[in-house]
Structure formats: C-alpha cells, structure tokens
C-alpha cells in the first residue's frame, strides 16, 4: 500500500512525514489538512511555516492549488501576499489560519485547535506550546520536514529511539532504511525524493552525484542525519513479530539465554528452535519495561526461583524442558568475593558457579561483537516482492509478549558518528541503552543452536530437575 495512503489512514494523533527535498511532503500535508477541513464542519487548523514568506511561497500556494474553489467562503488569494488576513474559511465553517515560527511562542498561546500542520521543523518551545493547544479538542498534529539539523530536541522527542514498522532497501546508500516508524503512539513516514514522479529525476540524479552518502541519506531519503546508525535496520515488527499462539513452539528444542547484571535486572530469553532451524523468542524476563527499572536488589536464590517458575510454565506450554543454557561470558565469569570462606577453602566465586550450585548449569556465550552483529543480521534478513509477499523468510521471530526484546531490537544503535567539529570519528561506540536483549540474541546465535532430535519423551510425572 502506498505510503501516502497509509499516512492519511493512520490514527496517530501526532504523525509526520520525514521527506527528502522535493519528496512531495508539503503536497501531502496540504492535501491532508484540506481533506480534514472538508470532512467535518467547524474544524480549526493552523498551518505553520518557518517564516511568513515561506508560508506564502510554499504552504499557501500549495493549499490554493489543491483546494476546491467552490468550497471557499472567505479567502482572497494572490501570489505576493497569500490569503488576506492569513485566513481561509470554508463553506462548512472550517478554517485554516496561516502562521509562522518567526511570530515566536506567544503567538501560539490561547485558542484550542483541532489540528496543527508544521511544514519544516518548528522550534522546540513552539512545538511544546502547540501540543497544549490540542488537548481540549483532542486535536492532532502533522509535521512535514526534511531534517538537516541532526538530532535536535524535537527530533529526539518525536523520532529518536523509534520502533521500525516497515523498512526498505535504499540503493543509493546500499543499506536498509526505515519507511514507517513509531514512538510512543506517534507515527512517522519516510518519503523518498527519488519516488516523486512530478520532478525531473535526471536533474535529481545529477545533484545526487555531488552529495556525500550522509547528505543522500538525509536530503533524498529523509532520515535525520545522526539517526542512521541502527544496528539491526532490517528488524521490522510487521515481519518479525507474531502472536504467541501462532508460534510453533511445541515441537522444538528450548534454549535459555541469560545476561546477569549487578546494578540492573538480569535480562533473560527463552528461545524455541524448530526442526527447520527457525528460532522463536517466546518468553523473556523481566516482563515490564527493562529500561524503566532503575535498580535491582534480588539475590541468586530470588533469580533461581524466577527461572524455575518461568520454566514450569514453559513445560506446561511446550511439554519440553530447557535443553541448553547460555550466559554472558563476561559478568557470568566475573570473580566475586564471598562474605565467608567456604569449607573448600575458596573465598571467591562467580555468577556461573553460584547458579551451578543451585542446579542451573550454563555454558559461556561467545562475545565477539562485530561477528555477532553480522550473525544476527543474517538470521533476521528477509525479502518481499512488489506485492508485499515474503520471498525470503527470516530465521528468527519474536512473539508479542517479548516487549523488551522487540524494543531493543528496534532501537539498538551506535552513537553519533560526528565530532563536535563536524568530522567523522574513526571508531563509533555503541549506545548501550538498548543492548541487553540484543546481546541475548547475539549469544544465542553465536552458540550454533540446533534442533535436538534425541532424548526421551516428556513425562510430567518425573521429578523435576533444575
């Protein structure tokens, strides 16, 4: 389905088009506002541009081109000064008032609105003031912009750390880029300049030949400059996420992967490997937002009890026991001093040893970061034809209940590659905020998991061994 149609049908109260230059984003914004005003009487919309000349030359001219002239009740227009009094009144009582950011924040106080259209990025204080104007009428905001300023406060608020809904291969930069993203109920659609049939694409190709890849990513594909460092760009909730009841996890081999910590909760996944070799991440811990849990005070015994309770439920669901346990080799083998010397004479231990004492035996994961990233990319890779039918299935899926795993796969990225002087750093560090559950997938796939065909059938009457 075309992005334009999906944008118009989206029910998000804040949504936008991040578009390359001349990608038709302003056209779609004007079309959207006009259709909203005509659909329902007495709608109140602001159409806001960077400056008043921009409002006249871009927004008002586009609205004049698209509006049915027989629906105008008040709105004299000319190309020099735009609409008289910056107002356009429809015959059903709906009204568009044209404003600009150079009027400052005070001009956006007061009247409540059904909708606000920002064409290009608004100053952050104006954006926050505008949002307050939408509360009483349960209004909506659309933003149409090409982001050339990097990660501003606004871009960070509405776009950074997004979840990918749809992605697509971008040949000019030879990588997968997002087409639809979501964050906190807001949705944003990425329009590409090279898809606009109303501009001279030969001239566009000439301009592209003079651009760096970073400029192409922003000016042609609409991606804010510093948000191109996602580790798993091909991860898509549309493709990789399914309801738990749809996952074929009964005839599988069960793996448990653990990333223990000290100051934050332990991250865990339970993964089912199907006879086809496809893996299904079907349970995790914790079952609340990992990044909002600010501390952790659980003991080894507490965590062992959590694992046992989880795996008792998993046995009921799959009729399988855990076949293999994998642990982060770094913290899992970290030496920890005991409060009292053991009978064996040892005064030190490790997380892995403490879990083994309690009946849970883990093998070390392989912690080669670059190779692990490549392995996971290989396992999530997919391709679709022009009709959206998958012609290459991924080898990893996640079930909807694994919200931390899905969030981290969507948002795991590198830090800003640019220095304060505008140069590109030789080595770009990873952003660790959303790494934990991605590390679990990396440890899992680097362990060469497989479907185990041996063993005895599950007998629920046998004494449980952990």
CATH number for the domain including 248? 3.30.420.280
Q: How far apart are the first and last CA of the chain?
A: 50
| Of 274 and 455, the one with more pLDDT | 274
Tell me the Ramachandran region of residue 174: left when phi exceeds 0, alpha when psi lies from -120 to 50, beta otherwise.
Answer: left
Is the pLDDT score of 202 beyond 90? no
Omega of the bond leading into 88 within 30 degrees of 0 (cis) = no
Which CATH number is 49's domain given?
A: 3.40.50.300
Domains contained in the chain, number? 2
Which range among 34-43, 73-82, 169-178, 393-402 shows the weakest confidence by mean pLDDT? 169-178
Percentage of the residues of the chain whose pLDDT score is greater than 90 = 58
d(CA 285, CA 270): 9
Residues 196 and 315 in one domain: no
Closest CA to 164 of 183, 145, 147: 183
The band of 226, judged by pLDDT with boundaries at 50, 70 and 90, is low
The band of 465, judged by pLDDT with boundaries at 50, 70 and 90, is very low
Asked if 189 and 14 count as a contact pair (C-beta separation under 8 A), the reply is no
Domain end position, chosen among 173, 206, 227 = 227
Rounded to two decimals, what is the model's pTM?
Answer: 0.60
Which range among 107-111, 213-217, 261-265 shows the weakest confidence by mean pLDDT? 213-217
454 inside domain:
no
Residues 7 and 113 in one domain: yes
Residues 257 and 213 in one domain: no
| Of 464 and 209, the one with more pLDDT | 209
Q: What is the mean pLDDT of residues 4-15?
A: 93
Q: Which domain holds residue 325?
A: 239-446
The tokens describing 161, both together, are: 């750390």
Q: H-helix or E-strand containing 375?
A: helix 369-380
d(CA 258, CA 267): 6
The tokens describing 29, both together, are: 């914004």
């Amino acid at each position: 389905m075309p992005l334009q149609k999906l944008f118009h049908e989206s029910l998000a109260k804040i949504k936008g088009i991040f578009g390359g230059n001349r990608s038709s984003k302003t056209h779609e914004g004007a079309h959207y506002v006009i259709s909203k005003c005509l659909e329902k009487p007495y709608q109140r919309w602001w159409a806001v541009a960077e400056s008043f000349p921009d409002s006249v030359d871009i927004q008002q001219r586009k609205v004049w081109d698209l509006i049915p002239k027989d629906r105008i009740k008040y709105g004299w227009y000319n190309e020099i000064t735009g609409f008289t009094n910056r107002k356009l009144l429809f015959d059903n009582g709906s009204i568009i008032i044209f404003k600009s950011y150079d009027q400052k924040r005070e001009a956006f106080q007061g009247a409540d609105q059904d909708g606000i259209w920002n064409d290009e990025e608004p100053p952050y204080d104006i954006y926050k003031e505008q949002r307050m104007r939408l509360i009483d009428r349960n209004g909506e905001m659309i933003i149409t912009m090409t982001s050339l300023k990097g990660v501003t406060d606004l871009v960070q608020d509405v776009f950074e750390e997004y979840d990918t809904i749809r992605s697509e291969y971008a040949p000019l930069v030879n990588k997968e880029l997002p087409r639809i993203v979501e964050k906190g109920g807001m949705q944003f659609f990425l329009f590409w300049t090279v898809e606009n049939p109303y501009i001279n694409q030969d001239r566009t190709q000439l301009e592209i030949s003079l651009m760096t890849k970073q400029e192409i990513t922003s000016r042609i594909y609409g991606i804010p400059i510093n948000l191109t460092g996602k580790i798993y760009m091909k991860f898509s909730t549309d493709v990789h996420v399914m309801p738990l009841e749809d996952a074929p996890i009964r005839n599988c081999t069960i793996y448990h992967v653990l990333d223990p910590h000290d100051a934050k909760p332990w991250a865990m996944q339970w993964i089912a490997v199907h006879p086809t070799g496809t893996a299904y991440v079907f349970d995790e811990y914790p079952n609340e937002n990992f990044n909002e849990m600010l501390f952790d005070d659980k003991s080894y015994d507490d965590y062992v009890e959590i694992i046992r309770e989880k795996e008792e439920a998993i046995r009921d669901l799959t009729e399988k026991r855990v076949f293999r346990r994998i642990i982060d080799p770094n913290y899992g083998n970290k030496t920890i001093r005991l409060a009292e010397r053991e009978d064996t004479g040892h005064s030190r231990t490790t997380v892995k040893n403490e879990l083994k004492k309690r009946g849970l035996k883990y093998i070390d994961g392989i912690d080669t970061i670059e190779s692990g990233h490549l392995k996971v990319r290989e396992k999530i890779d997919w391709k679709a034809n022009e009709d959206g039918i998958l012609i290459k299935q991924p080898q990893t899926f996640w079930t909807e209940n694994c919200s931390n795993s899905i969030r981290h796969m969507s948002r795991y990225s590198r830090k800003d590659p640019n220095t304060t002087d505008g140069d590109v750093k030789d080595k770009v560090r990873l952003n660790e905020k959303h790494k934990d559950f991605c590390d679990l997938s990396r440890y899992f796939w680097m362990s060469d998991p497989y479907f185990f065909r041996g063993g005895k059938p599950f007998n629920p009457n046998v004494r449980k061994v952990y």
